[in-house]
Amino acid sequence: MSFSCLIVAAGQGLRAGPGEPKTWRLLGGRPVLRWSAEALLAAGARQVVVVLAADRLDAAQEALGGLTGWRAVAGGATRARSVAAGLAALAGEADEPVLVHDAARPFVAAAHVEALLAALAAGAEAAAPALPVSDTLKQQAGGTVRTVPRDGLLRAQTPQAFRLGRLRAAYAELGDADATDDLALIERAGGRVALTAGDPMLMKLTYPEDFAMAERLAGAARITRVGFGVDAHRWGPGEAVWLCGVRIAHDQALVGHSDADAGLHALTDALLGAIGEGDIGQHFPPSDPRWRGAASEAFLAHAAGLVTARGGRILNVDVTLVCERPKVGPHRPAMRIRLAQILGVPESRVSVKATTTEGMGYTGRQEGLLAQAVAAVETPA
């Protein structure tokens, strides 16, 4: 089912203590905002609108760099005004499902989305995950403390799901009033509301101590995967060779169906291997005329996109080129820069090395060139 998402991240998060607003703090090495954006895009969101404070729109480009399918808009003075601004920026039919999510809940997963969409498909006008209250509740007023019955009480979480047109109409009726929970707008109008199973992992980052717990959860929710790739091409007539996305003048060229960039081919296979997606030949068969003479950058960008689609990120890559000629050293800086650009990662996470076989074997006899690559990625467990 096609759906859109709205991530609300315009608040200051003052209860989280001094420092950056909580949306921009690092969690497991990534901004809190990025956790939700990656997860919702990986769950299949057609579009994601992120609502931010006006002075944070540029910061989103860095925090969400490498992701596609999202855009940022400025929010308002209250949560209700921010949600309304996000709804106005969404494009879609009135009956399209839209999920509204608080960026401060970073551990949203595809299973949460699936349950909410199923509730809408079953006829609900709105749906949200909710957890029963398990602790004894106390109310303190002045010097008096009393126990409050918890029977039937639930803690609502996000994301919350609606039909786009229905939620827009509810906000139009709200006017200048505020709302801290979107589900309440449908409740007030007598709409049918469904509650799906809540999840303790959907915790909300509110106080400083929440971040310590979230860091522990972040480590448990992610795994590191490593892939290895190797590629070789023979030398043939030519005047230049492509290696790691850089054209090098040479008295020979590598022979291949595409541009025969062995470095990019090996790295593409390393990324595909890390996420269990087969090899480059399955995605770009040499028998397909579309790839004749193609720039291998497209292959690597495709593999990197598959990592992102899994909700993953590239930690680092390492390429080793084995050849007697050309000399790789003078071109190493340009290669690192180009690989970083294609992969959307900092240059510091990219390594390119070169070696020879001291005249031994086919690379030593200058019959061909060999490339090997290792890639480490982080994905949801």
Final residue in a domain of this structure, among 206, 233, 259: 206
Banded pLDDT at 15 (limits 50, 70, 90)? low
How much is the pLDDT for 276?
95
Measured between its terminal Cα atoms, the distance across the chain in Å is 24
- Are residues 376 and 319 both part of a single domain? yes
Tell me, what amino acid is at 304? A
- Rounded alpha-carbon distances, angstroms, from residue 124 to 87, 96, 185: 20, 13, 14
Work out the percent of the chain whose per-residue pLDDT is above 90.
71
Q: Is the pLDDT of residue 13 over 80?
A: no
- Rounded alpha-carbon distances, angstroms, from residue 243 to 262, 296, 326, 329: 7, 10, 10, 12
User: Residue 140 burial (CB < 10 Å; 0-12/13-18/19+)?
Assistant: exposed
Question: pLDDT tens digit string along 299-343?
Answer: 999 999 899 877 788 999 999 999 999 999 999 999 999 999 999
The tally of domains found in the chain comes to: 2
Q: Is the pLDDT of residue 189 over 60?
A: yes
How much is the pLDDT for 18?
55
DSSP conformational letter for 373: E
How much is the pLDDT for 259?
94
Question: pLDDT tens digit string along 131-184?
Answer: 999 899 999 988 899 999 988 899 999 999 999 999 999 998 887 777 778 999
Domain range for residue 92?
4-206
Is residue 351 assigned to a domain?
yes
How much is the pLDDT for 146?
93
The CATH number for 254's domain is 3.30.1330.50
**Average pLDDT score over residue span 374-381:** 88
Calculate the average pLDDT of the chain: 91
**C-alpha–C-alpha distance, residues 126 and 68, integer Å:** 27
- Are residues 247 and 107 both part of a single domain? no
- Are residues 176 and 231 both part of a single domain? no
Is residue 212 assigned to a domain?
no
Closest CA to 335 of 264, 266, 269, 279: 264
User: Residue 187 burial (CB < 10 Å; 0-12/13-18/19+)?
Assistant: middle
Final residue in a domain of this structure, among 179, 206, 233: 206
Rounded to 5°, the CA angle 101-122-107 comes to: 25
Is residue 295 assigned to a domain?
yes
Q: Nearest 10 degrees: CA dihedral of 300, 301, 303, 309?
A: 170
- Are residues 143 and 239 both part of a single domain? no
